[in-house]
Amino acid sequence: MNPEPEIRRLRDLMPASGRMLIKIISKPQQMAVIETPFPMPWSRDRPIYINFDLWRRLPRAQRDMLILSTVSWLLNIRWFKPDLYQGVVIAGLLGGMVEFVQGDAVGVVVATGLSAIAGSQIWRSTRSCQTHLDADTDAIKVALRRGYTETEAAQHLLAAIESVAEMEGRLSLNFTELIRSQNLRAIAGISPVGVPESVRQE
């Protein structure tokens, strides 16, 4: 598959916010079908690496849903948004600087410790199953504007997750993929059982 026409098509499929931030890069040497590094706060671009030799083996609808879910996941990771933990990190860092200037070693330790705890909570929340479930839900919403029904979109994404694991030679899905698959079965009406709230936060 010539990557360029497919990259252009995938960019057109993305929501406008994704086109501005995300870059699709051909990476034929990787073993994964699609891969993206976890976006760090200092990263300007958010790349998605695709092995197009494997990618072309997926049906178009599965490719559409896979890219929409990946883009949605990347867009949902926001390091700088106003919430409690963000505020604690900033307050802790500022407090640490003030205490450092005043020469208060205990104050510095307490303030920077608070920042570290809040920072780890942000890191944990961005890596939970919930972020992937939210990304799948957002991908389905975008797919509705691209001509898919909710049931079709969920079924195609479910099939894509299973196809990718098989193409990559994995014998089973990982924990997050299993949770996503169960959630997509519930959305598609294949299963009456959804994902419990306690599992979503894992």
Q: Over the stretch 11-36, which tens digit does the pLDDT of each residue have?
A: 999 999 899 899 999 999 999 999 99
**pTM, to two decimals:** 0.78
Residue 69: band (very low, low, confident or very high) from pLDDT cuts 50, 70, 90: very high
> 79-85, long-range: CB within 8 Å, 24+ apart, which pairs?
79/39, 79/40, 79/41, 79/122, 79/126, 80/41, 85/118, 85/119, 85/121, 85/122, 85/125
Q: What is the mean pLDDT of residues 63-77?
A: 95
What is the reported pLDDT for 77?
Answer: 81
User: Mean pLDDT for the chain?
Assistant: 83
> Do residues 150 and 140 make contact, with C-beta atoms less than 8 angstroms apart?
yes
Separation CA 93–CA 85 (nearest Å): 12
- For residue 46, the SS3 value is strand
Q: Shortest CA distance to 168 belongs to which of 6, 55, 45?
A: 55
Length of the chain, please?
Answer: 202
* pLDDT score of 139: 97
In this prediction, residue 65 has a pLDDT band, given cuts at 50, 70 and 90, of very high
Tens of pLDDT, residue by residue over 87-145, are 555 555 555 566 556 666 656 555 556 555 555 555 555 667 889 999 999 999 999 99
- Amino acid 85: pLDDT: 47
- What does the pLDDT average to over 61-67? 98
Q: Mapping DSSP to helix (H, G, I), strand (E, B) and coil, where does residue 24 land?
A: strand
